[in-house]
Amino acid sequence: MGLTLAEKLIARAAGRDEVRPGETVTVRVDLAMMHDSSGPRRIAPILERLGAKVWDPERIVLVSDHWVPAVDAQSAEILAITRRWARENNIEAFYDMVGICHVVLPQGGHLRPGMFAVGGDSHSTTGGAFGCYMFGVGSTDMAGVLVTGETWLKVPESIALDWSGKLQRGVCAKDINLALCAHLGLGGAEYAAVEFTGSLIAELGMEERMTLSNMAAELGAQAGLIAPDETTTEWLEAAGGNPGEAAPWRSDKDAEYSATHEFDAGSLEPQVAAPHSPANAAPASSYKGVAIDQAYIGACTGAKLADLHMAAQVLDGRQVARGTRLLVAPASRRDMMQADTDGTLAKLMGAGAIMMPIGCGACAGFGGGVLAEDEVCISSTSRNFQGRMGAQSSKVYLASPYAVAAAAVAGEIRDPREFLAKG
C-alpha cells in the first residue's frame, strides 16, 4: 500500500521508510518559526529555566507581526524583548514589522518542499501550500523544539479535498475555504491532514494555494497540504530560496485516504460566513442587504498581493459608501511595494480605503481597526469568533477580498459578481 503526501513527509522527518495513521513518532524539525506574541517573551523564561540554548539558530525564523506597531508600553516591551532575544541568540532570519509570519516565511525563501516545520501560530498550516509538513504549536511545545530540535506527532489520517473545473469570475480560494468549513463543519477534518487535489488546484497561483492551506486550521486539520509542482518551484526560485525537488513529494497512486470529497469549482458561488463561525458560510446572496460599519482587508488569509488585486478589481473607479469605512492592512512589505508599483494601492486609496500598518492588525483584535459594541464588519480574515475583533457584541462576517470590497462600496453585503465586468 502506498503513502499519502502527509505520510511521506512525516516518514522522512522521522527517519523511517513509512509511517501509518495512528502511530506516534518522534521527528526532527527542519525549521521553527515563531512570532512576537508566542515567541521570545514566552519561550525565553523556559530556556532560562532549563539552562539550555537554541539547538540551531539557522533553523529559526522570527517575525514580529502581532503587536506591531507598538501602541502602548506593554506592546512596545513585547517587541523590545523579541529584538533583544533575536540579537542574543544570533537569529539572522529576524523580520521586524515587515509582514505576517506565514507570508514572510516563504517570501524570505525559507520553505522548501519536503521540509518538516513547526510554527508558533495556528495558521502555520499555510506552509503546506509549498509541500512542507507544517503545523502550529504553543510556546511551551516550541521551547521543547528549540532545545531538542525534535518534536512528536501522532500520524494523522489523510483526507483528499478534490476540486475540478474552473472558478467563476469573482470567486476565489477564500470561497473554497468557507464552503469547506460549511460542508465539513468547524473542526470537521478532526485532526486529519487535508490534501487539496484536482485540476483546479494545479491551476492556482501560490498565493491562492496559501489561502487554501491557511484555513485548513479552521477545518481542524493537522496540516493543509498541496503537492508541489512547477508553480511552486518557480515561485520559490523567484523568492531567492532553494526549491529543492518537487517530484518526490506527492501521494502514491495507491495511497489510502480516510475520505475523498469531490467538488465542482464551476458551481461555487461567492461565500459569506455569518457570525460567529466560519462554518456559517452560505452564498453571499443569502446575506444580501446586511448593513456594515467596517470592511477589513487584512491578515495572512486575506491581504496578500493577489488579495489586494481582487479588492482593486471591485474598487477601481468606485467609492466606499458613506457611513462605511474600508481598512486595508497588507500582509507584507513586499506585497505592499508591488501593489504600489502596479497601481493597485492607488486604486484602493482612490476608492477611499484607509491604509493600515503591515501586520496581523485587527484580525485577532491586537492591532488597529477593532470594533465597537454592536458594530458589524465584513472581513477577509479567517476567524469570526465572538469578541475576537473587538467588543463582545460586535459581529464579523467572513468573505473574500472581492466580497469585502463589494460590501465597502455598497455599504451592505452583496454578491461581488454584481461589481465585476463579465469576462
Interface residue list for other proteins (CB under 8 A): 24, 37-38, 42, 46, 49-52, 67, 74-75, 78, 119-122, 124, 135-141, 143-144, 147-148, 152, 154, 186-187, 190-191, 220, 222, 277, 364-366, 383, 385-388, 392
The helix (H) or strand (E) run that includes residue 28 is strand 24-28
Cβ–Cβ under 8 Å, residues 369 and 108: no
Cβ proximity to other proteins: between 25 and 202 the closer is: 25
Smallest distance, Å, CB 138 to other proteins? 3
Smallest distance, Å, CB 322 to other proteins? 30
How many CA atoms, within 13 angstroms, populate the side-chain half-sphere of residue 169? 9
Cβ proximity to other proteins: between 210 and 348 the closer is: 210
Cβ proximity to other proteins: between 46 and 290 the closer is: 46
Cβ–Cβ under 8 Å, residues 62 and 29: no
| Residue where the block lists cell 504549536 | 137
Smallest distance, Å, CB 206 to other proteins? 23
The dihedral region occupied by 14, where left means phi > 0, alpha psi between -120 and 50, and beta the remainder, is alpha
Smallest distance, Å, CB 119 to other proteins? 8
Cβ proximity to other proteins: between 36 and 335 the closer is: 36
Where helices occur in 162-281 by DSSP H, the ranges are 173-184, 199-203, 206-214, 230-238
Torsion sign across C-alpha atoms 354, 358, 361, 363: positive
Cβ proximity to other proteins: between 46 and 97 the closer is: 46
Smallest distance, Å, CB 387 to other proteins? 6
Cβ–Cβ under 8 Å, residues 6 and 160: no
Smallest distance, Å, CB 57 to other proteins? 19
Smallest distance, Å, CB 107 to other proteins? 21
Smallest distance, Å, CB 84 to other proteins? 18
Cβ–Cβ under 8 Å, residues 113 and 243: yes
Cβ proximity to other proteins: between 71 and 291 the closer is: 71
CA dist., res. 320 & res. 306, Å (int):
20
Cβ proximity to other proteins: between 383 and 395 the closer is: 383
The helix (H) or strand (E) run that includes residue 295 is strand 294-298
Buried b (16+ CB within 10 A) or exposed e, 45-83: ebbeeeeeebeeeebbbbbbbbbbebeeeebeebbebbe
Cβ proximity to other proteins: between 205 and 387 the closer is: 387
